[in-house]
Amino acid sequence: MKQIYTFGTYLKDKFGERVYKVPLSIMGFTCPNIDGTVAKGGCTFCENDSFSPSLDKVKPLKGFFLNLDSSENPYLEKQLLQIEEQFNTISKHATSEYGYKKFIVYFQSFTNTYAPLETLKKLYLKALSFPNVVGLSIGTRSDSITDETLEYLAELSKDKEIWLEFGIQSIYDETLVRINRGHDSANVEKWILKAKEKNIKVCAHLIFGLPNENREMMIETTKKSYKLGIDSIKYHPLYVVKRTALANEYARGEFTPISESEYLEVLSEAIRLKPENISVQRVTAGIDDDSLIAPAWCISKNDQIRAINSKLKKIGLKY
């Protein structure tokens, strides 16, 4: 049975030991697809408040951070303090419970390049100053990054492990319009290629089961994503949670979630086609509380992983 090349394996090979990815949220950050800059309401599947429920949040304002440099940002000190507190809590647990000694800071919630570069520099450098942090992974959108930010990250990458995580989701523009994504596939391709030209590592996010997409479309998105030269990948099924536009569509009978059997078929084919050098960071997603509406199979990650490994076993692979 051949083990799939995972992100954990990549990190262990590079740093000589396991490295824990610490997810953090930045108070007050938002998304241009939420604040009205490119669209309103976010993607149809996005429950905006769920991204950072534990933060004492500053209400995000359209263009607020974009119009301030770091010296004018009245929340900067609190932002710096909050990411430090989050890091300390999570990293200490990872060390005491699982023995991790090295960390990558993962700016996960919302769009983490959607601010003036001077503000981003202070936040990124603060994260890199935390004990035993070897790098950053920065979740972003292709319409929310600049050449100047790429140049800065390229400089950081000379000494640190720097990743950008882009949501590709689908290469089909009609799908991106349908989910209110706010940008087209050409924009994603442009910025991923720019990041790769700067030797910045890229993780791509793909969603299987988007509205009106069939198996062939999902596989075509996967193949074209691989061709962009990405370094790592996350595969997600689309699931429906409360307080989203998608939940309303589901209630009206306008959306049918992907079945577990179809997801397993698409996922196993996507992994079979994957170039050896691309590491896998995630093979599924879900939520185990009462906010999940459908599909029911997304409620248990352990059950999902068992089903995925059973399917992969048939093609000689193991996650």
> What's the pLDDT tens digit per position in 218-252?
999 999 999 999 999 999 999 999 999 999 999 99
Range of the domain at 55: 2-318
The per-residue pLDDT of the chain, averaged, comes to: 90
> What's the pLDDT tens digit per position in 111-124?
898 888 998 999 99
CATH of the domain at 147: 3.20.20.70
> What's the pLDDT tens digit per position in 31-83?
777 776 776 677 888 875 444 434 444 444 444 455 455 556 778 888 899 99
Q: Residue 48 has what pLDDT?
A: 53
Over range 79-89, report the average pLDDT.
Answer: 95
Looking at the structure of the chain, the number of domains it has is: 1
Over range 171-196, report the average pLDDT.
Answer: 95
**Looking at this protein, which amino acid is placed at residue 163?**
W
* Spatial distance between the Cα atoms of 11 and 16, rounded to a whole number of angstroms: 8
Return the number of other C-beta atoms located less than 10 Å from residue 145's C-beta.
21
Over range 178-192, report the average pLDDT.
Answer: 94
The percent of residues above 90 in pLDDT, for the chain, comes to 75
Over range 163-168, report the average pLDDT.
Answer: 96
* Spatial distance between the Cα atoms of 5 and 285, rounded to a whole number of angstroms: 19
Name the 3-class secondary structure at 316.
Answer: coil
Between strands 279-282 and 232-237, the pairing is parallel
Over range 82-105, report the average pLDDT.
Answer: 97
- Whether the CB-CB separation of 74 and 120 falls below 8 Å is answered with no
Q: Residue 193 has what pLDDT?
A: 98
Q: Model-level pTM? A: 0.90
Q: Residue 291 has what pLDDT?
A: 93
